[in-house]
Chains A and B, each alone.
Chain A
Amino acid sequence: MSGPVTKDARSTEKTHEPKIVAFCCNWCSYAGADLAGVSRLQYPSNVRVIRVMCSGRVDPAFVLKAFELGADGVIVAGCHPADCHYINGNEKAAMRGDFLSEFLEDAGIEDQRFRMEWIAGSEGQKFADVVKKMVAELERLGPLCEEDV
């Protein structure tokens, strides 16, 4: 992976449908995503959730792999600080996330493409909002250039 990779935003066709992968921890964020459904909150269909037991399970390699395979954005979502079902897996995730953000920036991947979010089981609305926001931003940014990833 190398080099700045984004096409000019204005040249992007409106029809670009960003692909987003969201890694959600089982206990809070996945539950939050479910609650968005139970509450029938509507959000764009661009996101696909991969359930992991804890955000601390998310290996930076998964995130890189997702970008490499053509994802336009990646979300890692876990319990709020101090709420992690495994005590502090989310703190570890946060540390890795910071490191990863820097790495991605160096690789020319805009920081809007990678988000760490704390979403509680009661925050269906937040899950929906996070997705909405990211979709809007990625639509503005346009696709990642494949050859550059």
Chain B
Amino acid sequence: MADRKVGAVLVVGGGPAGMQAALDLADSGFKVYILESGLSIGGTMAQLDKTFPTNDCSMCIISPKLVATGRHENITMITNAELKGIEGKTGDFKVKLSRRSRFIIEEKCTGCGVCAEHCPIEGANAFDRDLAPAKAIYVPFPQAVPLVYTIDKGLCIGCGVCDKFCEAKAINYSDEPDKEEVIEVGAIILSPGYDVYDSSKKIEYGHGVFHNVLSNIEFERMLSASGPTEGHVIRPSDGDVPKKIAFIQCVGSRDAQTSNTYCSSYCCMAALKQAVIGKEHVQGLDTAIFFMDTRAFGKEFEEYLMRAENEYGVRVLRNNRISKVEEDPETNNLMLSYLEGPDIREEVFDLVVLSAGARPPESTGNMAKVFGLDLNKFGFCETDDLTPVSTSVPGVFVCGAFSGPKDIPDSIAQASGAAGKVAALLSEERGKLVTKKEYPQERDVSGKEPRIGVFVCHCGINIGSVVNVPEVVEYAATLPGVVYVERNLYTCSQDTQKKIKEVVEKHDLNRVVVASCTPRTHEPLFQNTVKEAGLNKYLFEMANIRDQCSWVHRLEPVKATEKAKDLVRMAVAKAATLESLPQPKIPVTPAALIIGGGLSGMTAALEIAKSGFEVHLVEKEKQLGGHLRRIHHTLSGVDPQETFEQLEKEIAEHKNIKTHLNETASEIKGYIGNFETTLKSGEKLKHGAIVVATGGVEYEPVEYMFGKNPKVVRQTDLGELLAEKDFKADNVVIIQCVGSRNDEYPNCSRICCSTAMANAMKIKKEHPETNVFVLYRDIRTYGFAEENYNEAARLGVIFLRYDPASPPRVVATNGDIVVEIDEQFIEQTVTIKPDYLVLNAAVRPNPDNKDLAQLLKVPLTKEGFFLEAHMKLRPVDFATDGIFLCGLAHSPRLIDESISQALAAAARVNTVLSKPFIEAEGVVSVVSEERCIACGRCEDVCEYGAPRLEEISPGVIKSRINEALCKGCGSCAVACCARAISPKHFKSEQIMTMLEALLADKDEEVKV
């Protein structure tokens, strides 16, 4: 008998990574449990104010995910709970959990907050790092999911006030403190995140002793509009606005004293972001960041660093590990000594922020015990370069910072990657334990008088601090058709969704308007809400009073308020004209097209095939493997060739995979679920999703005599030389950042520092007599690669820092080459005569990307890498549905990171292919047969072949539009000479109505 498998998954930890894994699996037909030890999902990201490199508001972008997770019909959240034990094996686990009581009946609590209003007890708020008070009955933060209150029994005096005021009768003082339960799952994903290093342990910095020394998370909460100071940056000692802030990097990381010798990866960027945002909060603020190295290694990060330094004037002080902070007891000012060039300087600051690093989460020990999991020496989960989401226990996977400190997009990609692995593992069980989301029957609103509800959002203080929201609310109430208006602190929070549904019912609303942020991110959320309220989702309209109003007119509150009113009036006018639109169901071709057969493409192909879908793997060369064929050892010293051969064999043998070598796509037509690609050879392929895995190329240096002198080689050549037996050299010089971090290609190639360490160590281990010199700008061995940097230094590799303004000079003298470098530390020129000069050449985008981007209609970055839908939360999605990306097509990355992304792309593809139908958008164009004169201009103008002239009855020819092909762009409507075509939701009448609302008789209306 085949082993039993269970089509359910347990995700341990509900931060961004856990939520992503849960959503991917739930959307692919698996039942998901999220076990969260805290009171809400959201993880550390929910505490952040802004995220780099786009400075997006963290709560704004995570909030839709919180809500989507919270309301997904296939996700069950088990919060405030702990893992107790586990039995069984991969495919069939029994997991024992223990829930701590909230002393609230979860099903009854509405999250209204009346209890907390009346609670007489105040304690400290852990979410705000104790900077703000919280009641004895509380939610951790306003957007918490689930929005259920909890009684802190340590604080509660049992006065019974909350019970008295709770209308829902949700208080249960006498609940048992813990309850155990057992769930059955087929696989487990661990995403417990990380803990922030307790910086008060570094006593030399005085955190917890000196008032004006804050940790980075405390400072982040201070920047947050919903934080303890409502976004005001102040000195805790006296409440004054600081004029000078110092950021000290690497607190509790890269630090042998704390034995946390790894690098925490995200703190450099986080500090830059905090310095930039700090400057936006306080005019004229001086910010200085003391870096050991600037580790801006991610996509577009280097540009962010340059902007911070050059445009915002953030002071970037490299080569600095601050030894101590001293306080002037009178002023509470803080004094630091630091290096500037070779000089030691002293400077006084008003506030010091400690960039505390990441530690393995507290729960790690318990988890390791329960699962019998291997941890690395720091207590993070042990993984392998080539199996980056697998743990030592079969059926148990890992993602996010628990497998090593990393930023949000890398965590999200790894999370989708883990989901991809699980989906393949449990593929036969897909769809067996899930329920389909049922929406209430849609109300028929045709012909009914508009009854419009308007919800105006404060967005914390994002809108409310500029736009006079109460005034807008008052004004909205006077607009024609409006029967209900309210304002919300966050209209996107889960409690407001509930509120909207209630209000729609209670006031019999048939149109809803939300005035808040941009429809580009939040329309789907609100549309879902109105759908749940029994309205067609197109009976919804948004007014963008944040991104296009309060944020851009910060110094003109009166004008911004007028504009907000105009925008609301336009939205209300359009809302009155909105109609219910049907959404046709489009069948999905359960096959994927993978473009590019390197490591990423191959990995994605195999995982999708294992999930039971057909795969077309298209590779331009005559064999698979791409760049990987030239790599002989990874960072951790593994030779990937063996794994590669295994992968190649599995792909060749898998019945679901068809490999197309020497092929490229020459035409790609269609849309999510229904693509048709024509290959160069003329072969046509039908598929429902696409993965772009075109890889990158190694830069061909024009500098340092590359190509002119045989002693000058690139890093990959060195890898190959080292793989040969007879490598011999007295001196090897490695130059970093060749062709990256310059004017033309400003960004960092990310992998070069780590590969330099791997190669340098290999030389030193196998040929200890060889001198190895690494000429660098910043060493960016992030994460555990920092260990390699330390090890390389221990082995005697010599590191020399150069300034990009005076790069190393290379001259050839009778066959020899001589390298000269102006060393920055010692301020001297050093001359070396190497046997090999190794150039660490940049990773450049594949030159084919340009054409492919045009074929697919997807964007590229300035440098020519593909640009994903959202840098933080959608790292492997394109904005166009059904198209995904991974590996070097996205940006430079290490092997394990490419594999994670490839698995992620596979998981995202699964979410498309696992459904038999996709619900099409309702925004399509329709022809009025009455008006149509069959001129055929619509046919000419449409690129998708949607309109066709047809003989509808003998002798009568009319245009008809195929809804499945129509994209709703509206071009045909403009071209139509008889004005017979109308693009739904963007009808001419609707746009004219908006114009009229905006411009006509405005003076009269405003007087109201």
Contacts and interface: CB of A to CB of B under 8 A. Distances in A.
Nearest to B56: A38
Interface in A89-125: 89, 92, 96, 120-122
Given A34-B544, A56-B971, A82 B988 contact: no
A42 B548 contact: no
Contacts of A49: 544, 548
Contact of B988 (A48, A53, A61): A61
Contact of B974 (A39, A44, A59, A88): A59
A26 B969 CA distance: 10
A52 B55 CA distance: 26
A92 to B, nearest CB: 6
B61 to A, nearest CB: 10
B952 interface: no
A48 B567 contact: yes
Contacts of A43: 552-553
Given A38-B56, A49-B544, A57-B971, A71 B983 contact: no
A53 B973 CA distance: 12
B999 A41 contact: no
B633 to A, nearest CB: 38
A134 interface: no
A50 interface: yes
Nearest to B551: A37
Contacts of B968: 53
Nearest to B850: A82
B461 interface: no
Contacts of A87: 857, 943
Contact of A36 (B520, B552, B923): B552
Interface string A119-141: 01110000010000000000000
A86 B983 CA distance: 14
A125 to B, nearest CB: 11
B750 interface: no
A77 interface: no
A89 to B, nearest CB: 5
Contact of B570 (A30, A50, A60): A50
A1 B493 CA distance: 49
A121 B971 contact: no
B974 A92 contact: yes
Interface residues of B, number: 56
B475 to A, nearest CB: 15
A66 interface: yes
A36 B553 CA distance: 11
A45 B559 contact: yes
Contact of B973 (A50, A57, A84): A57
A78 to B, nearest CB: 11
B245 to A, nearest CB: 19
B547 interface: yes
A44 B552 CA distance: 8
B445 interface: no
A40 interface: yes
* Residue of A19, A27, A50, A58 with most chain B CB atoms under a 10 A cut-off: A50
B283 to A, nearest CB: 13
Nearest to A83: B859
Given A19-B999, A38-B56, A70-B999, A30 B520 contact: yes
Contacts of B742: none
Contacts of A42: 552-555
A21 interface: yes
A86 B968 CA distance: 9
Interface string B159-202: 00000000000000000000000000000000000000000000
Contacts of B548: 33-34, 36-37, 49
A58 B973 CA distance: 9
B999 A39 contact: no
A40 B307 CA distance: 14
A30 B862 CA distance: 19
Contacts of B306: none
Contacts of A86: 943-944, 967, 969, 971
A100 to B, nearest CB: 11
A120 to B, nearest CB: 8
Interface stretch (B204-212, B500-508, B680-688, B989-997): B989-997
A27 B879 contact: yes
Contacts of A37: 518, 546-549, 551-552
Contacts, number: 143
Contacts of B570: 48, 50
B518 A56 contact: no
A26 B555 CA distance: 27
A56 B970 CA distance: 7
Interface string B861-872: 010000100000
Range, interface on chain A: 35 or more
Given A50-B994, A121-B859, A57 B547 contact: no
A57 B999 contact: no
Given A52-B986, A62-B995, A65-B995, A89 B971 contact: yes
Nearest to B569: A48
Contacts of B859: 83, 120-121
B563 interface: yes
Contact of B969 (A51, A53, A82, A121): A53
A91 to B, nearest CB: 10
Contacts of B560: 45
A57 to B, nearest CB: 3
B241 interface: no
Interface string B960-986: 000000011111011100000001001
A54 interface: yes
Interface in A19-37: 19, 21, 26-27, 30-31, 33-34, 36-37
Nearest to B277: A40
Nearest to B553: A45
B563 A48 contact: yes
Given A34-B518, A34-B548, A51-B519, A39 B994 contact: no
A83 to B, nearest CB: 7
Contacts of A121: 859
Contacts of B867: 122
Given A27-B879, A45-B560, A50 B991 contact: yes
Contacts of B967: 53, 86
A66 B995 contact: yes
Nearest to B971: A56
Given A26-B520, A85-B857, A53 B923 contact: yes
Nearest to B880: A85
A122 B999 CA distance: 30
B259 interface: no
A20 to B, nearest CB: 10
A54 B942 CA distance: 13
A31 B519 CA distance: 10
Contact of A45 (B563, B879, B992): B563
B566 interface: yes
Given A21-B998, A71-B999, A82-B854, A38 B547 contact: yes
A144 B963 CA distance: 42
Contacts of B879: 27
A61 B862 CA distance: 36
A54 B275 CA distance: 38
A66 B993 CA distance: 11
B969 A57 contact: yes
23 contacts: A30-B520, A36-B552, A37-B549, A37-B551, A38-B547, A40-B551, A43-B553, A45-B549, A45-B559, A45-B560, A48-B570, A50-B570, A52-B991, A53-B967, A53-B969, A57-B973, A59-B974, A60-B974, A61-B988, A83-B859, A85-B969, A92-B971, A120-B859
Nearest 7 pairs between A and B by C-beta?
A: A57-B970, A37-B547, A69-B999, A37-B551, A56-B971, A86-B969, A54-B969
Given A40-B552, A54-B971, A65-B992, 4 more contacts: A38-B55, A62-B988, A70-B1000, A92-B975
Interface of A: 19, 21, 26-27, 30-31, 33-34, 36-45, 48-54, 56-62, 65-66, 69-71, 82-89, 92, 96, 120-122, 128
